[in-house]
Structure formats: structure tokens, C-alpha cells
Structure 1
Amino acid sequence: MAKTSQETNNQLINLIGKGTVITGDIKSEGDMRIDGELNGNITSNGRVVIGHTGKVTGEVSCKNCELAGYVKGKIIIEQLITLKATSTVLGEIATDKLSIEPGAVFSGNCTMENQAQNEKAKNA
């Protein structure tokens, strides 16, 4: 029997689809993709992808992040955050590595060099 995409690597991929609006905090052990809207905080031990239709108002805390949509709030990334050309970030970023494509909008502060791990430890 073939494995479904959710069973690959024994890790679930959580999806908030376009048109879905969630108010509240989300905590996940696995990866997450947001194409809808979240008014709250995300905490994940995996990768968070915010698609071009995705919108987050709150704190994002994860290992890696690919952002093509909109985030207003604090972003704490342990390893790498990539801001795609369609992305808008209003707030603070704490990360080890930052990649910004031409066309991305970032208004706020950025702290680098393992500061993300220090921020995550302070908030724990």
C-alpha cells in the first residue's frame, strides 16, 4: 500500500486552507502550511510555510520558515527564514539566517546569530 503524503517521514503536515479563518494559538510537532488567516500564535518544531494568500497576526515560532504572505508580529526562527517576493512582514524577526527576495516588504527589526534560540528559551 502506498504512503499518503501525510505519512511520509512519519511527520504530519498541517494545512490551513485559503478561506479558513482561525482565532487562537496553534502548537504543532510537525510542519505547517497556512494559506488562510490566523489571528494568534504558531509554535512548531518543524517548518512553517505561509503561502501568498496566508495572513498571520501574532507570533510565529519554528525551526524554518518560508513566507510568501503577510505576517504582523514577532517571528522567531531557529535556523532559516526566507521572505519571498510577495511577502510582507511588519514586526520583529529573530533568526540565525535570513534570505530576502527582491520585492519583499519588511518593516521592523531583525536580530541574528543564534538570537532566535535565546528568544525561544526566554519565552519557554
Structure 2
Amino acid sequence: MFKNYKKVTPAEPAPAPFDNDDIANAWAAPAPAPEPVVPESLFSNPAPVSNFTPVSHTPAPAGSVRNVLNSDVSVVGTLRFTDDLLVDGSVEGEITSDGVLTVGTNASIQAEIKTRSAIIHGRVTGNVTVTDRVELSSTAELVGDVIASSLAIQAGAVFIGRSTVGSPQSIPTPVMDTKKHKAEDKPAADLLG
């Protein structure tokens, strides 16, 4: 006779209706940034110093460079080396080698250079004598004479001096004029005409 009716209760209360202020506040406030998670192992075992590899700001030549004089190094005197050398500091005196000398962009050299080859990116004041090749990059400044089998100069390089380029057999010997030409020995009319 009596029917059994069960009263149903909701598990959660019904959400309140949205209002325009709630929507505006939701867009205005940025979500809080999550806390970064740093694994403890990053700081517990630092890497050994022997794994440190310095980075050079000077362009490396095509081959690998074994010897480097950084920008904080200054040498006065004669500098001799057997392999390749990259100089990014300053040198005053003489540089001799059977290897390749690379002058970095930060380098300032006032020396006579006698090597197999020279690649110049920085500033050199002095004569350069090489058995193979001299390369002047666009940032190079060379004030001095060059004697080499070949000479390459990029646009933008500054070269003030004389160059003798070619193999020793093809380099002509300069012929000296033994006559003296003095202005006081000749009348002015002879000089003009």
C-alpha cells in the first residue's frame, strides 16, 4: 500500500551561478608560478675542475692550435715555437718558428715575424717573412713589408707596406740605378721638360 520512497541527497552541493565579477577576476589574476624543482644531486657532487674547457673568442684556424697566448699575456723579447701558435695578447721583439702563427683579433704585435705561415686577424707592426702563405683577414692591420710564397688579403684589411710574393726563383732581384739625380745638378727647365 504504501510505496517506499527514498530521499535522494546530492553528493556535492550544486555550484553557485557565475557572475560577471567572477569571470573578470579569473582573467585578471595570473596563475601562480609553480616552484622549481631542483634535484639535490646537481649541487651535492660538483663537476671536477679537470672537465673545464675554456672558450676562445678568437676564430680558430682550420687546423687545431696547440699553443695559445691569451689576451692577458704580454711577451717582450724573442718568441720561438715549433708547432702552431695562437697569439691573442701582445708581443714585442721577434717571433720565429717553422709552424703557423695565428694573430688573434685582440692581439697587438710589434715584432719581426719569421714563420712558415701567418694568419693575421689583429694588429701587427713589423716585417713578415714566411716560407708559405700570409693571410690578412678583414679585421687585420699590418704595417710592414711581407715576403711570402702567397698573400691573401680580405676586403677590409689594412696593409701598409711592400709585398714580395712568389717562389724564390720567380722573385726578381731589384736592379739598383747607380746614377745620382740631384735637383741642384740640373737646371729647373731640364727638370720640367
How does the TM-score come out when normalised to structure 2?
0.52
Output the CA distance in 2 between the equivalents of 1:84 and 1:74: 17
Alignment of 1:12-23 (within 5 A): 13-23=66-76
Shift of 1:112: 1.2
| Structure 2 letter corresponding to 1:53 | N
| Structure 2 letter corresponding to 1:19 | D
| Structure 2 letter corresponding to 1:23 | V
Partner residue in 1 for 2:81: 28
Output one character per residue of 1:24-82: Cα deviation in whole Å (capped at 9) or x when no partner: 11111111110000011110111100000011101111111110001101100111111
Partner residue in 1 for 2:32: none
Partner residue in 2 for 1:40: 93
The answer to which structure has the higher strand fraction is 1
Output the CA distance in 1 between the equivalents of 2:100 and 2:134: 10
| Structure 2 letter corresponding to 1:60 | I
- Dislocated runs of 4+, deviation >4 Å: none
CA radius of gyration, larger in: 2
Q: How many residues align?
A: 106
Shift of 1:96: 0.5
Partner residue in 2 for 1:73: 126
Output the CA distance in 2 between the equivalents of 1:14 and 1:76: 21
2:135 to 82, 88, 91: 82
1:60 partner SS = strand
Shift of 1:13: 2.1
Partner residue in 1 for 2:166: 113
1:59 to 107, 112, 115: 112
Shift of 1:12: 7.7
Unaligned runs of 5+ in 2: 1-63, 172-193
Structure ranking higher on relative contact order (CA contacts 8 Å, 6+ apart): 1
How does the TM-score come out when normalised to structure 1?
0.80
TM-align CA RMSD: 1.7
